[in-house]
Amino acid sequence: TALISMYAKCGALSLAKEVFQELPVRDVVSWTALIAGYAQNGLGNEALECFGQMREKGLLPNAVTFTCLLKACSILRLIQTGEEIHGEVLKQGLLEKDFALGSSLVDMYMKCGAIGKAERVFEELPVRNIVSWTALIDGYVQHGFSDEAFFCFDVMMEENVSPTHVTYTTLFNLCANQKWLAKGRHLHACLKNKIKMESSIDLDMVLGNALINMYGKC
């Protein structure tokens, strides 16, 4: 399974599949490693086809399998398949045990344009972490709901959820596109305070470029 995962993460999916086929026993973990490899490399159809074969073998998917399948649905914009997976996740009670699944559901519905469903999933999550908040914010930005994206950021900060590089980069790019200098400066102040208070974040190349781009476009 580690070999499958290594080859898949290196983009060598033919080698990953070759190792998989040579396994004397294929359990849900090895199947999931292959499905994850396809999803991570943007091959949604292959991931779903692999899942179908896994089910034919009578194997029950776990939370990681479902997370990878939701990514495949996001790639292909297959909301119906995503809803079926959502139903299976609820049936197994996995949302209360695996926070990544909730974020993946929010992201899938947003990518498929079902903003209302994404919001409902988000509101019903037992724990809303930075990944789920960022999925919601990114979805709003993608669909042009700029005010909602910033409202989310404010609420997130009030709930003491700490933004990541991805959150800041998304919002700096939004400020650049909307020519929102005041909001951009507010974000920059939040970022500088975070850098000062924490060692978990610094001004890397991607974040720095987004900041320069924001000021330049404003």
The alpha-helical segments, DSSP class H, found in the chain are: 2-9, 13-22, 28-40, 44-56, 63-76, 79-91, 99-111, 115-124, 130-142, 146-158, 165-178, 181-197, 205-217
**pLDDT over threshold 90, residue 88:** yes
Residue pLDDT, tens place only, 93-142: 998 888 889 999 999 999 999 999 999 999 999 889 999 999 999 999 99
Contact 104, 86 (CB under 8 A): no
Residue pLDDT, tens place only, 152-196: 999 999 999 989 989 999 999 999 999 999 999 999 999 998 888
Whole-angstrom distance, CA of residue 94 vs CA of residue 27 = 20
